[in-house]
């Protein structure tokens, strides 16, 4: 038996601990993204601390037509990755260990935020996710819990639950890990054929196009605002030989939706092109949202935002997002 591996709550509660305990919750099929979470947990727990990784494919967060049975289960490989990244224990319980009475009658409700974006596409998903996260927090009793920012809405809901229900744990978000071609690491990437993977790259390209649009417009505004009056900005840019930027300034002004709409438009253009690929990308949603409640960012939005996308390529559904910062003049 692997010395890292624990299957029951009794074994977990008998695990000696000293210093801070950090937990990384997974559904298995570990990859470099999970390894990054575990290494970050190891660093934050400190030399005297402890890292516990949970591996549990939670049936509550899969819908009737989703891939619960198809979801990869690779526990032996998961143990090697977890140990190599610095975990002291892997808690991999059976379903009846987590839900000893069958499906729980009392569950956590994700509320209005849980009904948006992913929640609208996957009804009940976030209720099931929060229920198992709450149970695993009680079982593992950590000081820190680390989650990937790739699942931005999940992370936001966990933060909300921990705050609203007074869980004594610090939630830490860890930036998305990407492959060299930009595709966000996911256990579902293994389902993609080479042609499907090529199409799937449009998700990250779309997000970076939106990010570039934001950066370009911020630079454009900074230069244009050197003009003494707002109606002279496009003319000033033209005099500098920036004809394309000048035209862009006129177009953004005429659009009336502000920079958030321009960011969405830049990302959507990439996704629409991918919809004509073979195989095509089938868009579920593209949204620019306030990370506090996942409502859409309006024309005058300022502060942190999340540009999020979900789409299907073949039979595989993928999600991705990037954080953006909108200044006072966005």
Q: What phi-psi label fits residue 117: left (phi over 0), alpha (psi between -120 and 50 degrees) or beta? A: left
Q: What is the predicted pLDDT for the residue at 236?
A: 60
Q: What is the predicted pLDDT for the residue at 314?
A: 97
Q: 70 and 86 in contact (C-beta within 8 Å)?
A: no
* Bridge partner residues of 23 (DSSP): 52, 145
Alpha helices by DSSP H, listed for 63-201, are 75-85, 95-98, 118-121, 125-140, 152-164, 194-200
Using DSSP's 3-state secondary structure scheme, residue 195 falls into helix
Q: Which residues of 207-241 are buried (b: 16+ CB within 10 A; e: fewer)?
A: bbbbbebbeebeebbeebeeeeeeeebbebbbeee
Beta-strand pair 21-26/5-6: unpaired
Q: 96 and 17 in contact (C-beta within 8 Å)?
A: no
Q: What is the predicted pLDDT for the residue at 251?
A: 44
Kindly compute the dihedral angle of the four CA atoms of residues 176, 302, 153, 42, in this order, to the nearest 10 degrees. 40
For the whole model, what pTM was predicted?
Answer: 0.87
Q: Tell me the CB-side half-sphere exposure of residue 229, using CA atoms within 13 A.
A: 3
**Look-up: residue for tokens 């624990």?**
6
Cite the active site residues.
Answer: 34
- Is the previous residue joined to 311 through a cis bond, with omega within 30 degrees of 0? no
Q: What is the chain's pLDDT, residue by residue, as a tens digit (330 residues)?
A: 467 999 999 999 999 988 999 999 999 999 999 999 999 999 999 989 999 999 999 999 887 777 777 777 899 999 999 999 999 999 999 999 999 989 999 999 999 999 999 999 999 999 999 999 999 999 999 999 999 999 999 999 999 999 999 999 999 999 999 999 999 999 889 999 999 999 999 999 999 999 999 999 877 776 666 655 455 655 665 555 555 444 445 544 444 457 899 999 999 999 999 999 999 999 999 999 999 999 999 988 999 999 999 999 999 999 999 999 998 654
Q: Tell me the CB-side half-sphere exposure of residue 236, using CA atoms within 13 A.
A: 14
Q: What is the predicted pLDDT for the residue at 81?
A: 97
User: Rounded CA gap, 60 and 135, in Å?
Assistant: 12
Q: 305 and 323 in contact (C-beta within 8 Å)?
A: yes
Burial class (CB in 10 A: 0-12, 13-18, 19+), 50: buried
Angle at 251 between CA 249 and CA 255, to 5 degrees: 120
Q: What is the predicted pLDDT for the residue at 226?
A: 62
Q: Find the largest Cα–Cα distance for the chain.
A: 74
User: Rounded CA gap, 260 and 264, in Å?
Assistant: 6
- Count of Cβ atoms closer than 10 Å to residue 317 Cβ: 18
């Amino acid at each position: 038996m692997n010395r890292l591996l624990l299957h029951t709550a009794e074994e977990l509660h008998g695990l000696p601990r000293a210093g801070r305990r950090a937990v990384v919750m997974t559904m298995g099929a570990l990859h470099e993204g999970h390894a990054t979470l575990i290494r970050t947990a190891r660093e934050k727990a400190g030399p005297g601390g402890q890292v516990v990784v949970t591996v549990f494919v939670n049936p509550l967060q899969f819908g009737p037509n989703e891939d619960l049975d198809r979801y990869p289960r690779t526990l032996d490989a998961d143990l090697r990755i977890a140990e190599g990244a610095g975990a002291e224990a892997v808690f991999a319980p059976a379903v009846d260990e987590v839900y000893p009475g069958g499906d729980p009658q009392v569950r956590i409700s994700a509320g209005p935020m849980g009904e948006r974006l992913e929640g609208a596409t996957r009804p009940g998903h976030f209720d099931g996710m929060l229920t198992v996260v709450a149970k695993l927090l009680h079982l593992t009793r950590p000081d820190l819990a680390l989650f990937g920012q790739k699942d931005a809405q999940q992370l936001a809901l966990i933060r909300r639950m921990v705050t609203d229900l007074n869980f004594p744990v610090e939630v830490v978000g860890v930036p998305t890990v990407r492959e060299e071609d930009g595709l966000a690491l996911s256990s579902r990437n293994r389902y993609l054929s080479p042609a499907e993977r090529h199409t799937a790259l449009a998700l990250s390209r779309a997000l970076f196009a939106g990010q570039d649009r934001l950066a370009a417009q911020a630079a454009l505004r900074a230069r244009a605002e050197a003009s003494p009056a707002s109606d002279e900005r496009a003319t000033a840019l033209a005099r500098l030989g920036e004809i394309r930027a000048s035209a862009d300034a006129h177009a953004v002004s005429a659009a009336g939706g502000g920079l958030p709409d321009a960011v969405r438009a830049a990302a959507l253009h990439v996704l629409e092109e991918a919809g004509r690929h073979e195989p095509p990308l089938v868009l579920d949603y593209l949204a620019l949202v306030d990370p506090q409640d996942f409502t859409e960012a309006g024309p005058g939005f300022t502060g942190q935002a999340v540009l999020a996308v979900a789409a299907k390529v073949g039979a595989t559904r993928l999600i991705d997002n990037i954080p953006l910062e909108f200044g006072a003049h966005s």
